[in-house]
Chain A
Amino acid sequence: MQFMLLFSRQGKLRLQKWYVPLCDKEKKKITRELVQTVLARKPKMCSFLEWRDLKIVYKRYASLYFCCAIEDQDNELITLEIIHRYVELLDKYFGSVCELDIIFNFEKAYFILDEFLLGGEAQETSKKNVLKAIEQADLLQENLDFQIRLLPAST
């Protein structure tokens, strides 16, 4: 996978993950172009389109579009599966996820994505394991937060 974009129906970018090194200008250009093309497609259309030399796989969940760019030989259906899995993960983590969850906790959404995909490849196909890793990392973080909060009280 080359990159993954999340954007709203209004065309606002909500999340972006690039697995190929590109400069900011190029990234912006691609994002703009893709958001436009995908939003212009009618709901009954299939989820795939050919774009430059890549294949774009997208899926809409409520008001959010999840959009991945894969290479020519990659499997479209498994990419849809990846998108779906990621949505499920978000859903489990946030508890019936909505767009606002992702906006306000965008770093969490990234952390989950990073536990699920690495360098554009699925690294963990078990949802349980991904969530476990995230929870433990969160725990570590909360403990630290807790300590910091406790310290002033002790003085």
Chain B
Amino acid sequence: MALKIVKGSIDRMFDKNLQDLVRGIRNHKEDEAKYISTCIDEIKQELKQDNIAVKANAVCKLTYLQMLGYDVSWAAFNIVEVMSSSKFTYKRIGYLAASQCFHEGTDVIMLTTNQIRKDLSSPNQYDTGVALTGLSCFVTPDLARDLANDIMTLMSHTKPYIRKKAVLIMYKVFLKYPESLRPAFPRLKEKLEDPDPGVQSAAVNVICELARRNPKNYLSLAPLFFKLMTSSTNNWVLIKIIKLFGALTPLEPRLGKKLIEPLTNLIHSTSAMSLLYECVNTVIAVLISLSSGMPNHSASIQLCVQKLRILIEDSDQNLKYLGLLAMSKILKTHPKSVQSHKDLILQCLDDKDESIRLRALDLLYGMVSKKNLMEIVKKLMLHVDKAEGTTYRDELLTKIIDICSQSNYQYITNFEWYISILVELTRLEGTRHGHLIASQMLDVAIRVKAIRAFAVAQMATLLDNAHLLTGNTQRNGICEVLYAAAWICGEFAEHLEDPMLTLEAMLRPKVATLPGHIQAVYVQNAAKLFATVLQKHEGETDSQAAQETSQLLIDRLPLFVQSANLEVQERASCILQLVKYIQKLQQKNVEVAEEVTALFAGELNPVAPKAQKKVPIPEGLDLDAWINEPPSESESEDEKPKAVFAKEEPKHSRSRHTEVDEKELARRREARKQEQANNPFYIKASPSSQKVYDAPGVEHIPVVQIDLSVPLKVPGMPMSDQYVKLEEERRQKEKADKKKKEKKKKREKRGKGRKGDSGPESEEDITPAHHVDIVTEEMPENALPSDDDDKDPNDPHKALDIDLDNLLSGAGSRPLADSEKLPVRTHRPEVLKSPAEDRDDNTIPQETKKKSSKDKKEKKKDKEKDRKRSKEDKKKKKKHKDVEEELPESLPEEVVQSEETKEVVTVSSSAAAATVDSSSAAAAESEPEELKDTEPDDTKSSKHKKKKQKKEKEEKEKKKKKRHHHHHHHHSDAGAEDSVQNGTVEDEEPLPPMSNYSLLAENSYIKMMKEDADQVCDIQGNHQDESKVVVSVIFENKSDSFLKSMEFNVLDSLNSKLQRPDGAGPHDGLTVPFQLPPGVSNEARFVFSVQSIVMPQKLKGTLTFIVKTDESSTHEKLDFKLHFTCTSYLITTPCYSDAYAKLLESGDLKGSSLRLEGVNMPFHHLLARICFHHHFSVVERIDSCASMYSRSIQGHHVCLLVKSSDQTVSIDAKCDEPSLLGNVLDEIKQTFSKC
């Protein structure tokens, strides 16, 4: 034994160690590859030896070589050998090598399972640590499954060093083996409160990573994280938590409101830029998720913008960059706050760093307005001139075009200016965006009719000076603009001043150097011009000139007839023959102009790029169906149609239908290759085959590229700058005119004042120079709504979307099923068992025992609750309630107030500020709304769970319920009564209380109140086939007896079905999960699945129950009718005004309108009513006019424009589903007819 070791260490002395290898490589710079290959041979020899020290040394060297890019996968087994060494020195090297070299495809990984398990349970913490580290790099689904339980055990290890690593690696395990998440989560959550800060931070890390991907499952942890956030001082942890909140707030807006304050505090106090940046980002995210136009948050936005300005002004390029990045996020929702920093952004355009300049450009895109567009573009044009390096210049060019053309040229007031900008851009040397400029020219010329004359003149000049542009004939080079120029001149030739001149310019011999597709357009449009010229001459009866024109064409066209480009050749010869024929007629003095012009009559309309896709497939047409019976396999082999040039391949569709096996395919492929190789007409793809030109075509004449450093001025072209000046003058003048008029007109209106106009002129004041008529692109009738599905099905995090809430609390949770438990190694053949493993085995059964006893407990509690689905919902609801309660009560009542109400009643802050304990009527007044107000996906307070909640709360809720009933009975005078109670003085009249509860049915025993159906719409959007609607029903016991065994049943219709638990028959009733003592009321929720939502629905139902008195018990029943209004399918969805405008512009929506007479209520009440009863949100409100938006659970957009004047309310509505819209309007009408 000893001898062996001696021998080993002597061997080692002669071997190269890592240092020698590195040194050797550095000394053999010239023949590195050769040197390394000899080294690898040595290493192979070393690996064959028995001595583990030698092997480890060899593996260490291999790890180094692997980094240099050499393949070492052949040594995978040796790496495993070194990993299994009992000596830490070698084990460490082995694991390092494995973590660097192994990946999922490495097959020896499956040999490592037992070794890793042994190391994980080693008494030496560093053995365990090294194994965990290694595992984090190469964990596979198999390893994750087999080791999940071991790692989970390590999360409770005595040493924080191990706990910390175990917690972190769990994330990797979850990714590979999602089934482990549920069983491991409780322990992971425990670690959030670990005494060791390192472990705590690791747990925060893991949960944050999980939650970022699937936030909705982690909402219930919000209070815990909130506590951590306010108590932690560790910036690393804080950043993670704040990031997590950023992910949670879109799902829970109330959380966002609570966050604003601590976050702004942090922004003020922290000195760490990373934390500041994270806070700013999250505040932005929060404000985006809250509805727009919240006045009390403008301070937060202002703070963010201020801080970002400081970042941008910093000399540190990194901060500058990030500042701009965050600024662009604010820009999307609060453009006004950013626009005031335009100067700063423009400064950044001069920055040395290109990435900063590009960021600034991105920002500019969103900052333009009608007012400043010209100015900004002028600055950009200066930069274009200055810019060195074509990439940045091209970027500028595309940005200029993007900025100008955004939202349908919204900000362009003067199209002459824009055309001249485009023309100026054509002077850029070596740009790759000729095509982009060309398409803009075409688009503007076609869609802005008023500009055509001007555009044509410009294009004619361009054509005349074409020689300046033809320097660069590469594809997409600037010569592409000639394509547009030629087409515009030809198509709109009637605007040309001197068509003859242009025609002549288009037929110059130099044209033949242009790319083929441009020549083709030249030829075609020359013909159009020819027609125009003819007509002109015939009008003037100048037959001489007309004949000269024909002669010109006959002289020049043969050049194109010889073109190598087929398209050019074909068009040229066609037109040449035509002209020759015309010449003959002309010589006979026949008038031809009219007929020639008729060739090109008719106008081309722009068609939307997606128009084709949007054509709906007519009913009954199955595009996948075969028109004829598919021919059989044998036929297609033998009877191939004879092709002239090359044999055609069998059509794809055919091969798709007939199932061809792999072999057959391979054989065919081979045959095809062979065939192509032999076919002289087939251009081979292989790089070896050189391009052969049959004749020295004109394209290959070398063209000298002239590099002109002085920017060219094309003679006779107007500069865009002139337009800027002109436009300014025009605006000045207009303004002056307007002022005069305004003075006369608005003298009496001055009292009101215009708030938004801080600048000298507002957007609306600027009228376009011409009457601009932007022709919209044509879309087919009944275009389909666009379908955008951007979820990546391959995202590994998708599998981790697992509901964890019900795991967390003891009662009513869904316990771990047996199948969900982590696999525990039980019977595996093992030769040896180390003592450590024995210990390991002992702990596991205990673990399972604990779990199963827990299961039993939980099952007991769950006994009567069999409706899994709705129960889960409730569970979640309860959690939400907790969120609300456990968060520091900084905004007690205000927070729960509805968003829509807030928007409307911005003034009644005094009422909203009422505190919890004060039983002022103002607070009470807002309470009824509380029930209804929460976000649609977030759910309502479930009252039957309130036993567990605080008593105060209980009392409050009771009060509330009384109030509901009260509203019901005295619907009309409730408002008056309340305002009497309410002693506070307010600026604007407070909102009358509103209730969505209506009587469903009543008898002497029980009263059923139904809340207007609420929707639960899965955020994932599973509304393809059906949508879910939740109905809350309040049961009130009116009798003196005890009511029990209540069963709720509904007769399903084809469209709407009550959701019953699995296994229940379609006619079974649902047990109401509570009993009612005398005088008590409680609420239950029922889930319905609905297929079509465009029509209101009525369902018949029965409630059966047992009335139990001291002496007897009787069965009773109560029939009711459930009415699903179309409104109940709408979800209050906030919509920003720009998105709203786009929606309306899109033209996909059908309109309808409604007039309500004699509505006697303030406008804001009216809006609040629509918001509250019909689930709309206010997009914008100007005086007595407001736009409102809502969305159905199936994604229909519903837009309203509400106007009110002297008791008459008119509602113009648009929706993509006319029948839904009609029904909603009817319902709105009904709401107002009631009051």
Contact = CB atoms under 8 A, between A and B. Distances in A.
Contacts of A16: 67, 100
Interface residues of B, number: 72
B88 A122 contact: no
A15 to B, nearest CB: 7
B960 interface: no
A144 B318 contact: no
Contacts of B100: 16, 110
B317 interface: yes
B89 A144 contact: yes
Interface string A118-142: 1101111110010001001100110
Contacts of A2: none
B274 interface: yes
Contact of A141 (B88, B99, B103): B88
A62 interface: no
B141 to A, nearest CB: 11
Contact of A119 (B69, B169, B318): B169
Contact of A22 (B60, B103, B235): B103
B510 interface: no
Nearest to A45: B353
Contact of A21 (B103, B246, B273, B353): B103
Given A118-B165, A121-B205, A137-B92, A152 B355 contact: no
Interface stretch (B2-10, B330-338, B835-843): B2-10
Interface string A1-28: 0000000000001111111011110001
Contacts of B243: 73, 75
Contact of B92 (A13, A77, A141): A141
Contacts of B63: 106-107
Contacts, number: 160
A77 B274 contact: yes
Contacts of B130: 137
B412 interface: no
Given A16-B67, A45-B354, A121 B103 contact: no
Interface in A12-68: 13-19, 21-24, 28, 42, 44-49
A25 B595 CA distance: 66
Given A22-B103, A125-B234, A141-B88, A118 B277 contact: no
B96 A44 contact: no
Interface in B540-559: none
Given A149-B9, A155-B6, A15 B67 contact: yes
A137 B355 contact: no
B2 A140 contact: no
A145 B209 CA distance: 41
A80 interface: yes
Contacts of B18: 104, 106-107
Contact of B198 (A76, A123, A152): A123
B88 A140 contact: yes
Given A23-B105, A106-B64, A141-B88, A49 B132 contact: no
A75 B92 contact: no
Given A45-B354, A77-B274, A121-B171, A152 B321 contact: no
B136 A118 contact: yes
Nearest to A126: B198
A145 to B, nearest CB: 6
Contact of A122 (B133, B205, B356): B205
A127 B75 CA distance: 35
Given A13-B67, A129-B198, A107 B60 contact: yes
Where chain B touches its partner, the secondary structure class is helix
Interface string B349-360: 000111110000
Interface in B859-890: none
Given A28-B69, A106-B64, A123-B202, A137 B353 contact: no
A121 B68 CA distance: 25
B1120 interface: no
Nearest to B101: A24
B308 to A, nearest CB: 14
Contacts of A76: 277, 318, 322
Contacts of A151: 2, 5-6
A122 B318 contact: no
A121 B353 contact: no
Interface string B93-135: 1001001100111000000000000000000101001101100
A77 B64 contact: no
A81 B275 CA distance: 11
B278 interface: yes
A19 B318 contact: no
Nearest to B19: A104
A76 B73 CA distance: 35
A45 B317 contact: yes
Contacts of A98: none
B87 interface: yes
B320 interface: yes
- Of B2, B5, B172, most buried by chain A (CB within 10 Å of CB) is B172
A73 B105 contact: no
Given A21-B104, A24-B71, A76-B322, A125 B201 contact: yes
A81 B104 contact: no
B236 interface: yes
Given A140-B88, A149-B9, A49 B239 contact: no
A114 interface: yes
Given A16-B67, A137-B126, A119 B171 contact: yes
A97 interface: no
A39 to B, nearest CB: 15
Given A49-B355, A81-B274, A118 B169 contact: yes
B22 interface: yes
Interface in B1096-1125: none
B147 to A, nearest CB: 14
B96 A46 contact: no
B126 A140 contact: yes
Contacts of A152: 2, 5-6, 9
B132 A46 contact: no
Contact of B164 (A17, A111, A123, A144): A123
Contacts of B212: 73
B165 A136 contact: no
Q: Which 5 A-B pairs have the closest CB atoms?
A: A77-B274, A46-B317, A119-B136, A46-B321, A78-B274
10 contacts: A18-B137, A21-B138, A22-B103, A77-B277, A78-B239, A103-B22, A107-B93, A114-B99, A137-B88, A152-B2
Given A47-B317, A48-B321, A126-B198, 19 more contacts: A17-B137, A22-B103, A45-B352, A45-B355, A46-B318, A46-B355, A76-B322, A77-B322, A78-B235, A80-B318, A107-B60, A118-B132, A119-B168, A133-B126, A140-B88, A140-B126, A141-B92, A155-B3, A155-B6
